[in-house]
Amino acid sequence: MTHAEEIFCAVVRLTQVQGREEFSRLDVRRQLRVESDTWLNGYTAIFQGMRSDHPGGAPGVGEEFAGVFRRVAHGRYVLTEKGRSLLGLLRR
């Protein structure tokens, strides 16, 4: 599983299983059970690239996972329409 897939699966668990509307990077990292150093060195840039509103310079994550969530407040994110659509596809 790629880091983007792992991140999206963690977001699915947070939003669908735990019923959260919003989530943070820390929520995702804890859900994945990865240490801070591992997150910073392998996941944080991918997380950034998955945002619909990411600042320039984020790595490409592939069309499937690009733009699946957006920032709504400092450190707080929600699924976008694309993210909710992808979630619907996974349920099938």
**pLDDT for position 47:** 94
**pLDDT tens digits, one per residue of 20-53:** 889 999 999 999 999 999 999 989 999 999 998 8
- Confidence at residue 19, expressed as pLDDT on a 0 to 100 scale: 83
pTM of the model: 0.89
Work out the average pLDDT over 53-71.
Answer: 81
Taking Cα atoms as reference points, which of 36, 44, 47 lies closest to residue 8?
A: 47
In which domain, by residue range, is 8 found?
3-91
Closest CA to 68 of 26, 42, 58: 58
Structural domains in the chain (count):
1
